[in-house]
């Protein structure tokens, strides 16, 4: 069994592999590298075999999205720690060293995220994960270094090691034993926010999730779906409701679901005034999908001690859109 296995999920990403795989290969000698291919129809597999014969290939039989793609692929990976790495991530020299050290020094750590910076603006944090994820009282995810679309400049303010609530799927290290206890990702999510759900379930079981700022990677982002794609709007709105339904204590879940549905309606009206009708319809579709699947999702609630002190802020919607707060350290006192 290898210590760390880097598993890159690929779907028709030959160009991304050509651009980003070299850094992974150069700076990850301590790990075994896998590419898990989600039934690509381009020349991804041929490219890897020709240029990186030492990279191991796992060929999934279908494109099951992020959740099923990793669930299927990781059954074929024998390692103590999985590193789930997006195909559009550039890693840096010695990036694995502080991660391995953190796992070795604290056996209670189950999941780790490094610092995620923007590949295009390398002195700014990147949307997907930034310096570690949190949620507010209504279940809205946000990050140190990113609140909604407001991204902070990296000035070393998050060069620490800190417990967080969730780690981004763009670059997520998880003990294989924990991934198996959690039964992997929830495949009903398909893609987007499945890592928030995974980490929330881990929190409910008492596992520790940590951000390690000494490890740094650059994420291109939006290579599959951009932040402004209606399909991403659909998945984010629906999947967030899924996570609340599954993971909040029972007495809190239903009132918060009701408030979230109302706020989603406000977001839909805002999209109309912005001329983004497709995003308004995406929210409507998200709600219809949520209603349709509610019974099945509710049955996934587990008989565990639901985490009571789960949120880092009361309402990032109110803080950001009313008080115009754009920085984590103003919203939350570290």
Q: What is the pLDDT of residues 49-106, one digit of tens each?
A: 999 999 999 999 999 899 999 999 999 999 999 999 999 999 999 999 999 999 999 9
Q: Which two tokens stand for residue 111?
A: 């999941």
pTM, to two decimals: 0.95
pLDDT at site 191? 87
Per-residue pLDDT of the chain (334 residues; tens, 9 = 90+): 569 999 999 999 999 999 999 999 999 999 999 999 999 999 999 999 999 999 999 999 999 899 999 999 999 999 999 999 999 999 999 999 999 999 999 999 999 999 999 999 999 999 999 999 999 999 999 999 999 999 999 999 999 999 999 999 999 999 999 999 999 999 999 989 999 999 999 999 999 999 999 999 999 987 555 567 899 999 999 999 999 999 998 788 999 999 999 999 999 999 999 999 999 999 999 999 999 999 999 999 987 888 888 999 999 999 999 999 999 999 997 6
The strand pair at 109-118 and 208-219 is best described as parallel
pLDDT at site 308? 82
pLDDT at site 221? 86
User: What Å distances lie between residue 63 and 9, 11, 12, CA to CA?
Assistant: 10, 7, 10
DSSP 201: H
Domains of the chain from N-terminus onward:
2-219 (3.90.550.10), 230-331 (no CATH)
pLDDT at site 250? 79
CA distance linking residue 329 with residue 145, whole number of Å:
9
Is the CB of residue 110 less than 8 Å from the CB of residue 202?
yes
Q: Which two tokens stand for residue 64?
A: 């099951």
- Closest C-alpha among 272, 250, 268, 251 to residue 260: 268
CA distance linking residue 136 with residue 85, whole number of Å:
26
**What's the pLDDT tens digit per position in 181-212?**
999 999 999 989 999 999 999 999 999 999 99
pLDDT at site 211? 98
């Amino acid at each position: 069994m290898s210590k760390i296995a880097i598993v890159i999920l690929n779907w028709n990403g030959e160009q991304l592999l050509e651009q980003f795989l070299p850094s992974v290969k150069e700076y990850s000698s301590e790990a075994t590298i896998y590419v898990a291919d989600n039934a690509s129809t381009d020349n991804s597999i041929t490219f890897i075999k020709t240029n990186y014969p030492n990279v191991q290939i796992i060929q999934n039989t279908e494109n099951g999205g992020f959740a099923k793609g990793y669930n299927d692929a990781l059954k074929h990976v024998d390692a103590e720690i999985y590193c789930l790495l997006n195909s559009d991530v550039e890693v840096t020299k010695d990036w694995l060293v502080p991660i391995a050290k953190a796992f070795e020094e604290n056996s209670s750590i189950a999941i780790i995220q490094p610092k995620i910076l923007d590949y295009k603006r390398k002195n700014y944090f990147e949307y997907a994960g930034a310096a570690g994820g949190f949620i507010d009282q209504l279940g809205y995810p946000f990050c140190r270094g990113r609140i909604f679309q407001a991204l902070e400049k990296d000035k070393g303010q998050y060069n620490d090691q800190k417990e967080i609530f969730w780690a981004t799927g763009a670059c997520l290290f998880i003990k294989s034993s924990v991934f198996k206890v959690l039964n992997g990702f929830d495949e009903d999510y398909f893609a987007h926010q499945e890592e928030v759900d995974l980490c929330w379930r881990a929190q409910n079981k008492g596992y520790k999730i940590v951000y390690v700022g000494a490890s740094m990677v650059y994420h291109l982002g939006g290579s599959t779906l951009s932040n402004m794609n209606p399909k991403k709007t659909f998945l984010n709105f629906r999947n967030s409701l899924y996570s609340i339904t599954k993971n909040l204590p029972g007495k809190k879940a239903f009132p918060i679901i009701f408030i979230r549905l109302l706020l989603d309606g406000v977001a839909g009206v805002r999209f109309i005034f912005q001329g983004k009708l497709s995003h308004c319809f995406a929210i409507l579709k998200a709600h219809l999908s949520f209603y349709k699947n509610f019974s099945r999702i509710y049955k996934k609630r587990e008989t565990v001690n639901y985490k009571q002190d789960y949120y880092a802020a009361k309402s990032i919607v109110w803080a950001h859109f009313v008080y115009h707060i754009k920085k984590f350290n103003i919203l939350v006192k570290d």
